[in-house]
């Protein structure tokens, strides 16, 4: 029976490929508060080798950072496995983890590894087991800005910390001038935007500020924004849209949201040259990460204060959160099938063109092995 399902999946996927065209995903055109069911768009790569399982409905929510990747994954998976309905709501990492811990979803997306207290609480929903983090994709958190007449901009961690802590308030501040001696910087007021919702993107950005500029950033890292001042918007698409339409604006969001002409900052990390926010530069940073999770938890430790040449330090890894054991019987088969697909070589191969970094090979292999063992 499994072979028949797999052959059927292969035929369906090849049929989908014959009809597929180029898929261009732009976050600003998406509704981040809506559900992602994979009904729109076209498949862009093969899901031919996925084992579809028993089918059913999967509810999931969380990270908006991975929304663009999830759109493609769901569309491709459903082209191969039409008996499985997947509903992913990109309402932020904090909301996703909360919903999972309350037993509302089959898995959650989070741009941060689970905290010890979250792992402890997960025993209530994971039936005497625990939740684990499965790294699934990476990518740079770009610093997008809108300063008319300034096409290139270098900033360092201390200057960014002072901007987002409301201590540097105009674009012609001496600290910015020193890093950009050739730029014509206007006296435009800086409009710093941060996330209004709890976000793993905020968590990773503030981890960078704390690690690389501890004297300038007095707050503890976290999913909720702690600094005073600035303005807020919902989701990655919300802050990106504010940057696009507001002169003087600056914010942080995943590179895949830096669309429609949004310019991004190069970071002065102390390396020989400022480092651009690119997938390859993020991959270099991720390749230096170490697995620090306990047992089957594959949480990674990133070096936010790296000075390595070409390593972009504001990099996140998005995890899928699932129960190691004790998953609901009615969703276990589909969960393993879908997560197995997105961790596969086919699933990972889709990421780079949309601004995400695929997992390093040795980490990806551990993720696949762990997914296969979910119970």
- pLDDT score of 259: 84
Residues in the chain, overall count: 375
Return the number of other C-beta atoms located less than 10 Å from residue 40's C-beta.
9
Measure the CA–CA gap between 233 and 197, rounded to whole angstroms.
8
Q: Are 203 and 112 in contact (CB under 8 A)?
A: yes
- pLDDT score of 287: 84
- pLDDT score of 51: 85
Q: Are 335 and 6 in contact (CB under 8 A)?
A: no
> Residue written as tokens 């207290």?
117
Instruction: Provide the 8-state DSSP code for 27.
Output: G
- pLDDT score of 34: 40
Which ranges in the chain belong to alpha helices (H)? 2-19, 67-80, 93-101, 116-121, 157-164, 174-179, 200-212, 235-245, 279-286, 329-343, 345-349, 361-372
Q: What is the DSSP string of 131-177?
A: EEEEEEEEEEEEEEEE-TT----EEEHHHHHHHHTTS--BTT-HHHH
Contacts of 189 by beta carbon, 8 Å cutoff, 6+ apart: 169, 170, 171, 248
- pLDDT score of 43: 42
Measure the CA–CA gap between 296 and 25, rounded to whole angstroms.
33
Return the number of other C-beta atoms located less than 10 Å from residue 34's C-beta.
10
- pLDDT score of 354: 83
- Angle, helix 93-101 to helix 200-212, in steps of 10 degrees: 120
Contacts of 178 by beta carbon, 8 Å cutoff, 6+ apart: none
Regions in the chain scoring below 50 on pLDDT: 1-47
Measure the CA–CA gap between 165 and 160, rounded to whole angstroms.
8
Q: Dihedrals φ, ψ of 107, to 5°?
A: -155, 165
The burial class, CB within 10 Å (0-12 / 13-18 / 19+), for 104 is middle
Gyration radius of the chain's alpha carbons: 21
- pLDDT score of 48: 53
- pLDDT score of 33: 38
Q: Are 155 and 267 in contact (CB under 8 A)?
A: yes
Which ranges in 81-115 belong to alpha helices (H)? 93-101
Q: Are 59 and 105 in contact (CB under 8 A)?
A: yes
């Amino acid at each position: 029976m499994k072979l028949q399902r797999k052959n059927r999946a292969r035929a369906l996927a090849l049929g989908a490929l014959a009809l597929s065209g180029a898929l261009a995903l732009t976050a600003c055109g998406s509704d981040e508060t809506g559900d992602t069911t994979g009904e729109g768009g076209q498949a862009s790569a093969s899901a031919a080798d996925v084992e579809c399982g028993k089918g059913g409905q999967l509810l999931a929510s969380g990270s908006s950072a991975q929304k663009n990747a999830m759109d493609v994954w769901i569309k491709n998976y459903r082209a191969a496995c039409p008996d499985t309905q997947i509903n992913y709501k990109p309402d932020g990492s904090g909301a996703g983890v909360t919903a999972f811990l309350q037993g509302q979803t089959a898995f959650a997306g989070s741009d941060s590894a689970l905290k010890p207290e979250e792992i402890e609480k997960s025993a209530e929903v994971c039936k005497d087991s625990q939740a684990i983090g499965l790294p699934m994709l990476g990518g740079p958190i770009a610093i997008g800005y809108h300063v008319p007449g300034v096409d290139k901009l270098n900033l360092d961690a201390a200057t960014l910390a002072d901007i987002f802590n409301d201590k540097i308030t105009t674009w012609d501040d001496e600290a910015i001038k020193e890093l950009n001696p050739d730029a014509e910087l206007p006296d435009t007021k800086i409009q710093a935007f941060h996330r209004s919702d709890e976000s793993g993107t905020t968590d990773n950005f503030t981890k960078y500020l704390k690690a690389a500029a501890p004297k300038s950033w007095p707050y503890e890292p976290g999913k909720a924004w702690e600094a005073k001042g600035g303005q807020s918007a919902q989701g990655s698409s919300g802050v990106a849209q504010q940057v696009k339409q507001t002169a003087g604006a600056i914010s942080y969001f995943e590179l895949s949201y830096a669309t429609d002409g949004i310019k991004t900052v190069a970071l002065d990390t102390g390396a020989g040259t400022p480092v651009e926010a690119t997938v390859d530069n993020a991959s270099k940073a991720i390749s230096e990460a170490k697995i620090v999770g306990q047992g089957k938890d594959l949480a990674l430790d990133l070096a936010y204060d790296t000075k390595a040449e070409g390593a972009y330090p504001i990099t996140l890894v998005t995890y899928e959160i699932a129960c190691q054991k004790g998953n609901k019987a009615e969703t276990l088969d589909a969960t393993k099938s879908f997560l197995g697909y997105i961790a596969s070589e086919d699933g990972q191969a889709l990421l780079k063109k949309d601004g995400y970094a695929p997992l390093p090979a040795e980490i990806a292999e551990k993720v696949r092995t762990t997914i296969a063992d979910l119970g």
